[in-house]
A and B are shown apart, each in its own frame.
Chain A
Amino acid sequence: DTAVSQTPKYLVTQMGNDKSIKCEQNLGHDTMYWYKQDSKKFLKIMFSYNNKELIINETVPNRFSPKSPDKAHLNLHINSLELGDSAVYFCASSQSSDEQYFGPGTRLTVT
């Protein structure tokens, strides 16, 4: 009965590779988000989708491309991975953009 789930939980890859992180929510929410948490625990919004439409796109390199096949899923694809992409990525969802429910996170390590 997990509300917001992400796969994989851990991802270790080499520089230059392309990888994807998947997110699914079963709460019936209309808005989904991707956040990045750095080594100092700072959480920053990357993208937000509302009913499959991109509504927030922060200053994120265009190597990052979110895709929302339906309103219950928001995937994050990253091209040409760099060392600085190492972080924990959190997916979240909300209804009417107030209380957001977070997934367990995906720890990405780029070597």
Chain B
Amino acid sequence: GESVGLHLPTLSVQEGDNSIINCAYSNSASDYFIWYKQESGKGPQFIIDIRSNMDKRQGQRVTVLLNKTVKHLSLQIAATQPGDSAVYFCAEKDTGRRALTFGSGTRLQVQP
């Protein structure tokens, strides 16, 4: 079936480095993509989103890149901080569906 997945289950980076978390999706009808951050014991927290008519969107220290040709989504975090340590989820939605389909998550560990 359709799925959203991540290449790396755990990513370990040094504080101050840039982090890149990747996500592959298979639903060609997906038109909306979103990244969430989930800290231990908390609910997912919105980071950034992007629609299929864009290929890049920037926020504060974060950038989302969308490559529709290869159905790939990435989240870039600049100058990673210890507070960025969490599990990151990508999710997608197509126009015919109201709910998000989540990927399996990547754990980001920031080493001081």
Binding site for B on A (CB under 8 A): 4, 31, 33, 40-45, 48, 50, 55-56, 90, 92, 97-105
Q: Are A100 and B102 in contact (CB under 8 A)?
A: no
The binding surface of chain A is classed by DSSP as strand
5 contacts between A and B (CB under 8 A): A41-B38, A43-B102, A56-B98, A90-B43, A99-B49
How many whole Å from B73's CB to the nearest CB in chain A?
A: 16
The binding surface of chain B is classed by DSSP as strand
Binding site for A on B (CB under 8 A): 32, 34, 36, 38, 41-46, 49, 87, 89, 91, 93, 97-102, 104-105
Q: Complex: how many Å from CA A100 to CA B34?
A: 9
Q: Complex: how many Å from CA A62 to CA B45?
A: 30
Q: Are A105 and B105 in contact (CB under 8 A)?
A: no
Q: Complex: how many Å from CA A42 to CA B87?
A: 11
Residue with the greatest number of chain A CB neighbours at <10 A, chosen from B36, B91, B93, B100:
B100
Q: Are B49 and A103 in contact (CB under 8 A)?
A: no
Q: Are A45 and B99 in contact (CB under 8 A)?
A: yes
Q: Complex: how many Å from CA A31 to CA B100?
A: 13
**Given B89, B93, B98, which contacts A43 in the complex, CB threshold below 8 Å?**
B89
Residue with the greatest number of chain A CB neighbours at <10 A, chosen from B43, B99, B100:
B99
Q: Complex: how many Å from CA A92 to CA B43?
A: 9
How many whole Å from A50's CB to the nearest CB in chain B?
A: 7
How many whole Å from B16's CB to the nearest CB in chain A?
A: 27
Q: Are A102 and B105 in contact (CB under 8 A)?
A: no
* Closest residue of B by beta carbon distance from A55: B98
The 4 tightest CB contacts between A and B, nearest first, are A102-B43, A45-B99, A97-B98, A43-B102
